[in-house]
Chain A
Amino acid sequence: MKLVAVTACPTGIAHTYMAAEQLERVARKLGHSIKVETQGAMGIENELEQEEINQAEAVIFAVGITVQKSERFEGKKVFEFSVQEAIKNAEGIFQKVREEIGG
């Protein structure tokens, strides 16, 4: 699958980046392509281009707060999880997304 994701949590120093790292790591292992934007204490990093969002088959939010600049994702299929779930069960997340979009 070709995916994009956003991770974010209130303090933005730990969970946000752990979730991003885990999504990237597991995606590599499962052979998916993914770009993960982080919205943490350092602001938005690795920001998703509109083009990249448009091309993605699905969008994953692993968040504990509201996503900034969410208008970019209008019309896309967005799957929302908690940051903890992305850290603990990234495999499960990818599997669920795959089932939903029928890939």
Chain B
Amino acid sequence: MAVEFTFEFPLPLGLHARPAGFIQEKCQCFPGEIVWENLRTGKRADGRSAISLLTTDTRQGDPCRVMVGGQGEEEFAAGLRVFLLQELPVKEEKALSPGPEGEAMIPEILGTQKEVFFCGHSASPGIVRGRAVRAGRKPTPGELVPAADWKARDPKREILEFEKALEELKTEIKSELEAKEGTEKNILKAHLSLSADPALIKRVEELIKKDELTAPAALARAVEEFSRQLLQTKTQIIRERVADLNDVALRLLEKMGLKVGRGKETELAEPFILVAEDLLPSEFLGYRPGQILGLVLEKAGQTSHTLIMARGRGIPAVTGVAEAARLIGRGEEVIVDGNRGVVVVAPGEETVKYYQRETEAERSLRQVRREKASLPGLTADGRKIEIAANIGHPEELKKARDDGAEGVGIFRTELLLYGKTTLPEEEQFLLYRRVAEEAEGRPVIIRTFDIGGDKPISSVKLPEEPNPFLGYRGIRIYKEYYELFRSQVRAVLRAAAFGNLRLMFPMVALLEEVVWLKEQVKKFAAELEREGRPFNQSVEIGIMLEIPSVALLADKFAAEVDFFSVGSNDLVQYFFAADRGNPRVKYFNQPLNPAFLRLLKLAIVNAHAHGRWVGLCGELAGDSRLTPIFVGLGFDELSMSSAFIPEVKSVLNRLKQTDCQRLVEMAMESATAEENEKLLEDFYREQFLPELIEPVLVDLEADCRSKVEVIQRLAIVFEQSGRVGNRAVFEQALWKRERDIATEIGFGLAIPHCQSATVRTPSIGVMKLRQPIDWHSKEEQPVDLIICLAIPTGDKVRPKLQLLPKLSRKLIHDEFREALRQAKTADEVVALIKTATG
């Protein structure tokens, strides 16, 4: 007697580790037997074992048969069917989307290779592989129990102590349960069942009796043994169980009188990947440069200063990874894919190879970058716009120069204070002097200490405020912390004798503030004069434009200052009254909103009218998509994380100021940011619209061994040719189409294609494989010819779009395919396709 049902497997990534874990969990509720059979592969598995399920190689759409046998089989089978077809897809979708901040992009290979991976947000680009170290986490039970205390004198007493702790914990959890809901309640329930787990209790008592261990030591060892066993299973559910087990053990140890604090994990000798709940800038700076390979953080957010520094140093980072610090173990091998917002744990061979190819692609992109970095900061029609770097430490100057920075638009000096109790004038003088000298005549803007808001400094004890961003920060604290202010300005004036330094003040809102600041600078100069120290009399003085009042009164401020620099993050958040760190109001982060553009335009026009220049030093400056807007608005300088400089320069060199001005005039007349997104998109297409195909898109000797590799290769080539903005997005769009429809169309030909916003212009890629490969499945004819079609979204490209159907029709004809196969050079292929689409 058994019940069975068949269904098509619904999940787009197939049956990989996470859903297998969910199915296992569901099936383990049933006392009888559950057999899973994939009718395509013919493989069978035990439904109660995630590992066994993984061996069935189940993909989306595979027909599967599930057989349920035992007490209550009918009812359970019906429930299981609903679970598989309805609940599981919802769970999967939830697991794959990391929340309101946008989606992670999951490379297909993680599904096919059944990897354990976590999704978050891409916070700093790049890919890196290394071993994990966790910061700010609880210790493991083993670390907590000193080895000296392991031997027990009286096993009976130890067992009593253990049992007492168990009872106390159970009572405690039960009372906590009453007050909790949702996820927290589920976690607590799991804890309750673990604290009554017979296997655990038996092992602990055994260790106390046989090995004569103390209760804490026995518990620590038992937990370690179970963890090791469990972690051999490659599923996320298991990882959660291990984390739970550790939590329970720590609580038991606390009951037995041990102190459990938050600590830093012992570091590895070689550079590592840092996994943490959250990482304060001071904690980040506590590591040596080069020591951190990559960052995985549980907290979301893009603009925290830790992440700004990570981007500045070229460290890949993924944020918003739920429970990362709990689920990733010390020393585990991890791949941080900062381009896609994905973290892979203990990757298999194929996945490692995939990422090696990605890294290789990044390397050749870097070569292209170096060429772009050496371009001048000029538009195609000769308008000079200085492209500068944002830095937080003198050590970043070298990278900035390598990236092509023509100066430093903002040196955020408060970062120097992290982890320090004092920073004497002399020390600052030496730092600034070093910067001035190393900049070799290029201008460096030193922004004075901006303390408060999201930048707490231990040496400056500011009162707790309900609204720190609107409170006591920036220059507002200078009267109280006068010595801090004085020593910094004096140090800058002195260092300015050795190079081209400028002074800039943060958080100015009123004209009176500028008058006061300038009086003080004059006073400090007079002091230096009296002391007979060398200094620069005529240091330019500028202010941050980050509060809307300054933008509206720019003409009056212009009479008092030499320059302005827009701090876009703060200006946007003060202008729309929406905290940039709060994901719920992230929607208001709308730099393209016409109201915001009008504000900027007004400020720039008024500043220019008084002969003052205006720069932009916020994170926005690095977004090359927005460069036409900034050129059109009339910015004189753009300062950014140096990583973005090459791309911005390359775009800048192709833009005409007059075109950009027209674009901005239109954008200021729009009603919404969304309209302007479209305007900008169209602008790009008009400006940079090349031919459908060019020789770099043709590879007649491609050495790809699998479909995964072919699609990856196409994505890389399209990105390198500049036809695709982000290869990861493009790759994902191609795979999405693969799941919708078979692109293997017979004749040994496959036509992967997609429509995606990341495609900049309709394009065709051609690839001839050295060795034919299986495309969709083994049953079909192997593929040796690949034609990739890419089109952008929107309909402005219609004239070009017409050419793709022409090519598609041609491909049906044997003669045309034969001619493509016979072609000896890329130019021949380009000519064939041009004739076919002409």
- Among residues 2 to 40 in chain A, which have CB atoms less than 8 Å away from a CB atom of chain B? 9-11, 13-18, 20-22, 25, 38, 40
Give 8 new A-B contacts, CB below 8 A, not counting A41-B804, A64-B740, A84-B742.
A13-B801, A14-B804, A14-B808, A15-B808, A21-B810, A21-B812, A41-B755, A84-B745
Given A13-B753, A41-B801, does the pair A64, B741 have CB atoms closer than 8 Å?
yes
- Residue among B745, B802, B809 making CB contact with A88, cutoff 8 Å: B745
Given A13-B804, A88-B745, does the pair A25, B812 have CB atoms closer than 8 Å?
yes
B290 at the interface (CB under 8 A from A): no
A59 at the interface (CB under 8 A from B): no
Is the pair B745, A42 in contact by a Cβ cutoff of 8 Å? no
A1 at the interface (CB under 8 A from B): no
Is the pair A41, B808 in contact by a Cβ cutoff of 8 Å? no
List, in ascending order, chain B residues with CB within 8 A of A9's CB: 741
- Among residues 731 to 745 in chain B, which have CB atoms less than 8 Å away from a CB atom of chain A? 737, 740-743, 745
Given A42-B805, A64-B741, A84-B745, does the pair A14, B755 have CB atoms closer than 8 Å?
no
| Cα A41 to Cα B796 with chains together (Å) | 12
B754 at the interface (CB under 8 A from A): yes
| Cα A14 to Cα B746 with chains together (Å) | 14
List, in ascending order, chain A residues with CB within 8 A of B743's CB: 14
| Cα A16 to Cα B804 with chains together (Å) | 11
Instruction: Offer 9 A-B interface pairs, CB within 8 angstroms, sorted by A.
Output: A11-B791, A13-B753, A13-B801, A16-B805, A21-B813, A40-B805, A42-B801, A84-B741, A84-B745
Write the nearest CB–CB distance from B102 to chain A, whole angstroms: 23
Number of interface residues of B (CB under 8 A): 25
Write the nearest CB–CB distance from A79 to chain B, whole angstroms: 20
Interface residues of A (CB under 8 A from B): 9-11, 13-18, 20-22, 25, 38, 40-42, 64, 83-84, 87-88
Given A14-B751, A41-B755, does the pair A21, B809 have CB atoms closer than 8 Å?
yes
- Residue among A11, A38, A84, A88 making CB contact with B755, cutoff 8 Å: A11
- Among residues 244 to 263 in chain B, which have CB atoms less than 8 Å away from a CB atom of chain A? none
Q: Chain A's interface: helix, strand, loop or mixed, by majority?
A: helix
B789 at the interface (CB under 8 A from A): yes
- Measured CB to CB, the nearest residue on chain A to B751 is A14
- Residue among B789, B802, B812 making CB contact with A42, cutoff 8 Å: B802
Write the nearest CB–CB distance from B560 to chain A, whole angstroms: 57
Interface string of B751-769 (1 = CB under 8 A from A): 1011100000000000000
Given A9-B741, A15-B741, A83-B741, does the pair A88, B808 have CB atoms closer than 8 Å?
no
Is the pair B805, A13 in contact by a Cβ cutoff of 8 Å? yes
- Measured CB to CB, the nearest residue on chain A to B787 is A14
Write the nearest CB–CB distance from A66 to chain B, whole angstroms: 15
Write the nearest CB–CB distance from B60 to chain A, whole angstroms: 16
List, in ascending order, chain A residues with CB within 8 A of B811's CB: 18
| Cα A51 to Cα B559 with chains together (Å) | 78
- Measured CB to CB, the nearest residue on chain A to B790 is A13
Is the pair A14, B753 in contact by a Cβ cutoff of 8 Å? yes
Write the nearest CB–CB distance from A103 to chain B, whole angstroms: 25
Is the pair B791, A41 in contact by a Cβ cutoff of 8 Å? yes
List, in ascending order, chain A residues with CB within 8 A of B791's CB: 11, 13, 41
Is the pair A87, B745 in contact by a Cβ cutoff of 8 Å? yes
- Measured CB to CB, the nearest residue on chain A to B808 is A17
Q: Chain B's interface: helix, strand, loop or mixed, by majority?
A: mixed
- Among residues 780 to 827 in chain B, which have CB atoms less than 8 Å away from a CB atom of chain A? 789, 791, 798, 801-802, 804-806, 808-813
* Nearest 7 Cβ contacts at the A-B interface: A21-B809, A17-B808, A17-B805, A21-B812, A88-B746, A13-B804, A14-B808
Write the nearest CB–CB distance from B164 to chain A, whole angstroms: 65
- Measured CB to CB, the nearest residue on chain A to B798 is A42
| Cα A83 to Cα B791 with chains together (Å) | 20
List, in ascending order, chain B residues with CB within 8 A of A21's CB: 808-810, 812-813
Write the nearest CB–CB distance from A23 to chain B, whole angstroms: 10
| Cα A41 to Cα B754 with chains together (Å) | 12
| Cα A7 to Cα B741 with chains together (Å) | 14
Is the pair B808, A13 in contact by a Cβ cutoff of 8 Å? yes
Is the pair A11, B812 in contact by a Cβ cutoff of 8 Å? no
Is the pair B805, A11 in contact by a Cβ cutoff of 8 Å? no
Is the pair A11, B742 in contact by a Cβ cutoff of 8 Å? no
List, in ascending order, chain B residues with CB within 8 A of A41's CB: 755, 791, 801, 804-805
- Residue among A13, A25, A64, A84 making CB contact with B789, cutoff 8 Å: A13
Given A38-B805, A41-B755, A87-B746, does the pair A10, B812 have CB atoms closer than 8 Å?
no
| Cα A16 to Cα B745 with chains together (Å) | 12
Is the pair A18, B808 in contact by a Cβ cutoff of 8 Å? yes
Write the nearest CB–CB distance from A80 to chain B, whole angstroms: 16
List, in ascending order, chain B residues with CB within 8 A of A14's CB: 743, 751, 753, 789, 804, 808
List, in ascending order, chain B residues with CB within 8 A of A88's CB: 745-746
Write the nearest CB–CB distance from B613 to chain A, whole angstroms: 47
- Measured CB to CB, the nearest residue on chain A to B745 is A87
| Cα A64 to Cα B805 with chains together (Å) | 17
- Measured CB to CB, the nearest residue on chain B to A40 is B805
List, in ascending order, chain B residues with CB within 8 A of A15's CB: 741, 745, 808
- Residue among A16, A22, A83 making CB contact with B812, cutoff 8 Å: A22
Given A18-B745, A20-B809, A84-B745, does the pair A11, B801 have CB atoms closer than 8 Å?
no
Write the nearest CB–CB distance from A59 to chain B, whole angstroms: 21
- Measured CB to CB, the nearest residue on chain B to A11 is B755
List, in ascending order, chain B residues with CB within 8 A of A87's CB: 745-746, 812
List, in ascending order, chain B residues with CB within 8 A of A83's CB: 741
List, in ascending order, chain B residues with CB within 8 A of A25's CB: 812-813
Is the pair A11, B754 in contact by a Cβ cutoff of 8 Å? yes
Given A41-B791, A42-B805, does the pair A13, B741 have CB atoms closer than 8 Å?
no
| Cα A71 to Cα B726 with chains together (Å) | 42
| Cα A10 to Cα B739 with chains together (Å) | 12
| Cα A50 to Cα B402 with chains together (Å) | 67
Write the nearest CB–CB distance from A16 to chain B, whole angstroms: 7
- Residue among A11, A22, A42 making CB contact with B753, cutoff 8 Å: A11
| Cα A42 to Cα B799 with chains together (Å) | 10
List, in ascending order, chain B residues with CB within 8 A of A64's CB: 740-741
- Measured CB to CB, the nearest residue on chain A to B742 is A84
Is the pair B755, A13 in contact by a Cβ cutoff of 8 Å? yes
Most buried by B among A16, A83, A88: A88
- Measured CB to CB, the nearest residue on chain B to A18 is B808
| Cα A16 to Cα B751 with chains together (Å) | 12
List, in ascending order, chain B residues with CB within 8 A of A18's CB: 745, 751, 808-809, 811-812
